[in-house]
Amino acid sequence: MLKELAVISGKGGTGKSSITAAFATMVNQNVVLADCDVDAANLHIIMEPEIELSEVYIAGEKAVIDYDKCSSCGVCQGYCRFNAISFFEGRYIIDEISCDGCKLCEKVCPSHAISMEKSDKSRMHSGTFRNGKMVYGRLEPGEENSGKLVAMVRSKCREIAKKEGIDTILIDSPPGIGCAVISSISGATNVLVVTEPSLSAMSDLDRTLQLLENYNIKKGVVINKYDLSQSVADKIINLCESKGIEIVGMIPFDREVVDAMVNRKSIVEWNPASIVSKEIISIWNKII
């Protein structure tokens, strides 16, 4: 049976990607690895996959002015609720980053000078890394529908897993609890929530666990760098106990995790004998 483990975090910077990288590079591991943090994909920097296919992702539409038809009447600017249209050097221009693609300007332009063009700069890449296959999406700045791109990445992972006979998909989710995260966990069989001992992380963890109440998925929480504040770590343990969520691991702070990343390795590759590496392997065995 295909297992799909989503590693999520309500807050950025908790170490979610470092832990995912370690899972992906354990000895004898063979996974399809998905980097679903499409706004800031970075796992490929460590995994260095050999890209075999790059596919265009149509993120939406942007308004474009045909200056052969434009009479510079300014009507479009008055209707744009996203302040994407401005007057610059004698003509009206549309800022493609600000344009939401709502099409209102196209409808109100008396000269029919505005049309919608597809946003086609974002990409989904797939290829081979040292412990299996990898898929990741990269959304260009200002492009939208990150949840749709995440769904596309996950669909590609399933296709590859089936073709290659791989039974585990490992998903590095974006931080937060937005639609891209929901897209990351929908259909997953297991979810690991990574947090750290700070009050802001604990607040985000609470919101994340509320989100997960809607899903019938095997789930667990790991407190990363727990020894930076034992008192907050204890509060997180109490929070999880009150919600019936298992703490599947407590990882101590270790400078070597950073050293490993700087050298494009996961901690289990850099120092397999470290306490952090052993704890991560233990977490994998519990959550999967």
Does position 76 interact with ligand SF4 (CB under 6 A)? The reply is: yes
Q: Please name every residue paired with 132 in a beta bridge, in sequence order, or none if there are none.
A: 31, 129
Considering beta carbons, is residue 94 or 233 the nearer one to ligand SF4?
94
Q: Which two tokens stand for residue 155?
A: 């669909």
Please name the residue that has the structure tokens 């997953």: 188
Per DSSP bridges, beta strands 91-94 and 85-88 are: antiparallel
8 A C-beta contact, residue 238 and residue 28: no
Question: Which residue in 7, 80, 157, 248 binds ligand SF4 (CB under 6 A)?
Answer: 80
Considering beta carbons, is residue 89 or 213 the nearer one to ligand SF4?
89
Does position 84 interact with ligand SF4 (CB under 6 A)? The reply is: yes
Binding part of the chain for ligand SF4, among 9-17, 82-90, 170-178, 269-277 by CB under 6 A, reads 82-90
Please measure the distance between the N-terminal and C-terminal CA atoms of the chain and give it in whole angstroms.
12
CA angle 145, 148, 153 (to 5 degrees): 130
127 Cβ contact partners less than 8 Å away, ≥ 6 residues apart = 49, 50, 51, 52, 53, 133, 134
8 A C-beta contact, residue 239 and residue 264: no
Considering beta carbons, is residue 105 or 223 the nearer one to ligand SF4?
105
Binding part of the chain for ligand SF4, among 17-25, 64-72, 197-205, 252-260 by CB under 6 A, reads 64-72
Does position 104 interact with ligand SF4 (CB under 6 A)? The reply is: yes
Binding part of the chain for ligand SF4, among 21-29, 80-88, 247-255, 274-282 by CB under 6 A, reads 80-88
Does position 114 interact with ligand SF4 (CB under 6 A)? The reply is: yes
Does position 33 interact with ligand SF4 (CB under 6 A)? The reply is: no
Question: Residues 248-273, buried b or exposed e (16+ Cβ, 10 A)?
Answer: bbbbeebeebeebbeeebbbbbbbee
Binding part of the chain for ligand SF4, among 44-52, 91-99, 129-137, 223-231 by CB under 6 A, reads 91-99
Question: Which residue in 85, 134, 139, 261 binds ligand SF4 (CB under 6 A)?
Answer: 85
Does position 94 interact with ligand SF4 (CB under 6 A)? The reply is: yes
Helix (H, G, I), strand (E, B) or coil at 125: strand
Helix (H, G, I), strand (E, B) or coil at 189: coil
Nearest distance, CB of residue 195 and ligand SF4, angstroms: 37
Question: Which residue in 58, 64, 93, 102 binds ligand SF4 (CB under 6 A)?
Answer: 102
Does position 101 interact with ligand SF4 (CB under 6 A)? The reply is: yes
Does position 193 interact with ligand SF4 (CB under 6 A)? The reply is: no
Helix (H, G, I), strand (E, B) or coil at 69: coil
Does position 59 interact with ligand SF4 (CB under 6 A)? The reply is: no
Nearest distance, CB of residue 54 and ligand SF4, angstroms: 28
Q: Which two tokens stand for residue 205?
A: 């963890």
8 A C-beta contact, residue 208 and residue 9: yes
CA angle 215, 283, 199 (to 5 degrees): 70
Binding site for ligand SF4 (CB under 6 A): 63, 65, 70-76, 79-80, 82, 84-85, 92, 94, 99-105, 109, 111, 113-114
